[in-house]
Amino acid sequence: MGKFDEHERVILNVGGTRHETYRTTLKTLPGTRLALLASQQVPGFIEYNARSNEYFFDRHPGVFAYVLNYYRTGKLHCPADVCGPLFEEELSFWGIDETDVEPCCWMTYRQHRDAEEALDVFEMNVDNDEDDEYGKRLGIEDVVSADGTVSRWRKWQPVIWNLFEDPYSSRAARVRAHAARSLQTVARARLSSSA
Question: What confidence tier does 13 reach under pLDDT thresholds 50, 70, 90?
Answer: very high
**Position with higher pLDDT, 2 vs 171:** 171
User: Does the pLDDT at position 120 exceed 90?
Assistant: no
How are beta strands 9-14 and 47-49 bridged, if at all? unpaired
For residue 11, the surrounding DSSP H or E stretch is: strand 9-14
pLDDT recorded at residue 131: 53
Q: Give percent of the chain with pLDDT exceeding 90.
A: 35
What pLDDT, in 10s, does the model give residues 126-164? Answer: 555 555 565 555 555 555 556 666 666 677 777 787 777
Confidence of residue 2 (pLDDT cuts 50, 70, 90): very low
Using one digit for the tens of pLDDT, what is the confidence trace for 89-99?
Answer: 999 999 999 99
Closest to 123 in 3D by CA, of 87, 163, 81, 96: 163
DSSP string of 165-184, one letter each residue: H-TTS-HHHHHHHHHHHHHH
pLDDT number for residue 185: 74
Tell me the residue type at 136: K
Query: Which amino acid, 30?
Result: P
pTM, two decimals, is 0.58
Q: What size, in residues, is the chain?
A: 195
